[in-house]
Amino acid sequence: MPLWTGRFSKAIAKETNDFNSSIPFDCRLWKQDINGSVAHARMLGKCGIIEASEAESIIEGLKSISADIESGKLEFDMSAEDIHSFIEGELTKRLGDTGKRLHTGRSRNDQVAVDLRLYLRDEIAVISDKITDFIGVLTELAQKNTDTVLPGYTHLQRAQPITFDMHLGAYVEMFTRDLGRLADCKTRMNFSPLGAGALAGVTYPTDRSMTAAELGFDGVMSNTLDSVSDRDYCLELASALSIVMVHLSRLCEEIVLWSSFEFRFIELDDAYSTGSSIMPQKKNPDIAELCRGKSGRVFGDLTALLTVMKGLPLAYNKDMQEDKEAIFDAVDTVNGCLNAVTPMIATMKVLPNNMRAAASGGFINATDCADYLVKKGLPFRDAYKAVGELVALCVEQNVALEELKLDEFKAVCPLFSEDVYDEISLESCIKARK
């Protein structure tokens, strides 16, 4: 039975209930709903709003419901309107009139707001731990490849020589910033809306600071309309998760390239690859491709949340029920991608000889050759032009810069001498860079 009977003379139509119900997806909030209700009941008893004995009975009843859900003894009733009405209804079944006192001084508007904050706060911690583990995998791989030379790219064209640890280190920086964004989001999220009621506060002498402290919040939200209508934390988290997926997708795109026969910079472990139903030679980077594709889901979740919220007048509107499926999907998708990509990277085999061979082509030491002439006193633009002529000569002869004869260097610019070969070796190019 809905919590709002009394005003209505007809039972709710099945079509209305099915369309209105959120329990198929908000049932995952059951732990947070019970924790929030326990804190609320304890506060009601301490403030004398209900009898202390009734508060204790409510708390014990909620704990028994929690244990039964955990064990599987109690299953969710999918005909319930939402997880809040299901738990309150179950409590009333067990405690009678005492259970009906739980909702004193509370609305589902502030109840769902506190549940969602608690849930997402927990999920931020889980995702942050997974990103930290992933950073550890990248760092360990980087430490094993401090001398592995490969081409650095711009425009996906070979540009300058770098080492593989430097390349991986760029992703370490990206994911470290992601941790910072998630921590910032949690900081702004961690204020309690409980006690705001439907929108205008409550008439009981509640202690909002007590419930906020018990639930681990840093304080209470100061404006009651904002307390029940704010979903900035969902938008901000979806944005932060979207950026996480940008970084994962970029790395996965490189894994797809590097594992191809054209690059062959790495080889994925058999346990984290798939085959073809028709081509027996294939070894496909499906995890990387799926992660790259799933980034679009998370971006879509962010767009959906922004679209839901953009036109809503204060305070609560039923549109805001649409926040949950979107933010839950974003959280689930990022968790799933990190679960799959972390061991994929940890087990992949680096092929340093192929990386080194690629670095030997593409004239990626051309800038260093120009810098060599600058050190000899030639203006950079003149040095740039001279080396460009040398590259054209190399292309014509199908050789690398370091394979040109000294008299060919001197024919373009007399400042070249024998030491140019040391200056433009890939190892020298890398070591010279600050």
Query: Any idea which residues carry the catalytic annotation?
Result: 155, 276
Go through the chain and tell me how many residues it has.
434
Take residue 150 and report the two structure tokens written for it. Answer: 């490969």
- The answer to whether the beta carbons of residues 349 and 267 sit under 8 Å apart is yes
Q: Give strand ranges (E) for 129-174.
A: 149-154, 157-163
Beta bridge partners of 326: none
Contact predicate 289/382, CB 8 Å: no
Dihedral sign computed on CA atoms, order 243, 249, 255, 258 = negative
Cα Rg of the chain (Å, integer): 31
Q: Pseudo-torsion of CA 124, 129, 131, 137, nearest 10°? A: -170
DSSP 193: -
Shortest CA distance to 335 belongs to which of 27, 120, 181? 120
Per-residue tokens: 281:
């030679």
**DSSP 3-state assignment of 264?**
coil
Residues contacting residue 2 through CB under 8 Å, at least 6 positions apart: 12, 81, 85
For residues 215 and 113, the answer to whether their CB atoms sit within 8 Å is no
Residue 284 DSSP symbol: B
Q: Is 142 helix (H, G, I), strand (E, B) or coil?
A: helix
**Rounded to an integer, what distance in angstroms lies between the CA atom of residue 415 and that of residue 398?**
24
Q: How many CA atoms lie within 13 A of 210 on its CB side?
A: 15
Q: Cα separation of 164 and 161, whole Å?
A: 10
